[in-house]
Amino acid sequence: MALTRRKLFKLAQWSFAALVLFFAARSLATQWDKVEPRLSHIRFGWQWIGAATILVLIAYALLIEGWRRVLGAWDSRLPFPQAARIWFLSNLGKYVPGNIWSLTAMGVMARGQGVSALAAAGSSVIMQTVSLATGAAIVMITGAKLLGQPVLVGVSALILVVILLSAPRFLPPLAVWIGSLIGKDILPPTVPATSIWTAAIASTLSWLLYGLAFQLFVRGLLGTSPGEISSYIAVYTAAYLLGFISPIAPAGLGVREFTLAAFMTQLGLANEADAALVAIAARLWLTIVELVPSGLYVATGATRKSLPL
């Protein structure tokens, strides 16, 4: 029964991703003629792009710390530098189609630091579940604000508070269920409430920082960033979540860009050409921001191995 459910879940993911990727490729292809002339008129505001990059790195640090706190539920401890190294390097697995490579890499690297693969995988699944839950709640809140529905904003905010308060109770069994869908057997520990709340707060702050960073990046690229910050938080978070659940698009490639461009246009944050340009440029920017630390860790590891004993 569990195997059939897992197969159905993967089939639904692949079907959804294939459909979105088709429309994404078609949309971006039709916009290229409009984007190409715009490239010659770009004047990068590097101060805004630099500030956006710093905010993204702070968001990464929050997520790593959140993961460390949840990892403690398995009586496992990792110093922050080692946790950051594992987090960045295992994150490279998301650039391979499928949702298991990051977890697999994290388990292998964690064993090298004396942490069980089960603890690494379990804490990662819980952390991802927290991020998805808080991200969905933030989209609800910011989306409701954009629609001018104050009552809906209040209800959405209440849902977010309930998620944060009840997280220690529902997240462990939810992580087990998600683990079964992606083919990972997770043995849930008794996760301290403080660890879950820390992870939830870290995830929430990270989504907000991502949204602000995205707005600053748009300003650095286009010279202006019209609209409220809530619009950018909603657009970025929704695009990231949709890209995350796509199993055949490495790191949400195509899915995220299509969603980003479509929502920016719909919310009046940019015209079609500029929105397509932002979507493509944001992908390049964030990929560099992720790969540079990973590359430094790889280079540092290679240098250490080459040193004479």
**What's the rounded mean pLDDT across residues 125-152?**
77
Least confident of 56-60, 268-272, 295-299: 295-299
Burial class (CB in 10 A: 0-12, 13-18, 19+), 204: buried
**What's the rounded mean pLDDT across residues 250-261?**
78
pLDDT tier for residue 284 given thresholds of 50, 70 and 90: confident
How high is the pLDDT of residue 60?
Answer: 94
Answer whether residue 54 shows pLDDT above 90: yes
Q: What percent of the chain has pLDDT over 90?
A: 14
Residue at token pair 């995830």? 203
How high is the pLDDT of residue 213?
Answer: 97
Angle between helices 46-71 and 117-146 (to 10 degrees): 130
Higher pLDDT: 207 or 180? It is 207
pLDDT tier for residue 40 given thresholds of 50, 70 and 90: low
How many angstroms separate the CA atoms of 199 and 66, rounded? 4
Q: Which two tokens stand for residue 196?
A: 């879950």
* Most distant pair of Cα atoms in the chain: their distance: 66
How high is the pLDDT of residue 309?
Answer: 43
Helices (H), 40-149: 46-71, 80-91, 101-111, 117-146
How high is the pLDDT of residue 58?
Answer: 96
- Which of the residue ranges 33-47, 113-127, 146-160 has the most confident prediction, judged by mean pLDDT? 113-127
How high is the pLDDT of residue 96?
Answer: 61
Answer whether residue 18 shows pLDDT above 60: no
How high is the pLDDT of residue 217?
Answer: 96
How high is the pLDDT of residue 22?
Answer: 56
Q: What percent of the chain has pLDDT over 70?
A: 63
Cα distance from N-terminal residue to C-terminal residue, the chain: 54
Answer whether residue 110 shows pLDDT above 80: no
CB atoms within 10 A of CB 250: 16
* Tens-place pLDDT, residues 192-215: 777 777 888 899 999 999 999 999
Rounded to two decimals, the pTM is 0.76
Mean pLDDT of the chain: 75
Q: Which two tokens stand for residue 48?
A: 């805004």
SS3 285: helix
- Which of the residue ranges 118-132, 156-170, 180-194, 253-267 has the most confident prediction, judged by mean pLDDT? 253-267
* Tens-place pLDDT, residues 272-283: 888 888 988 898
Angle between helices 80-91 and 272-306 (to 10 degrees): 120
Higher pLDDT: 12 or 75? It is 75
pLDDT tier for residue 68 given thresholds of 50, 70 and 90: confident
Higher pLDDT: 87 or 305? It is 87
How high is the pLDDT of residue 3?
Answer: 52
* Tens-place pLDDT, residues 218-249: 999 988 888 889 899 999 999 988 887 765 55
How high is the pLDDT of residue 159?
Answer: 73
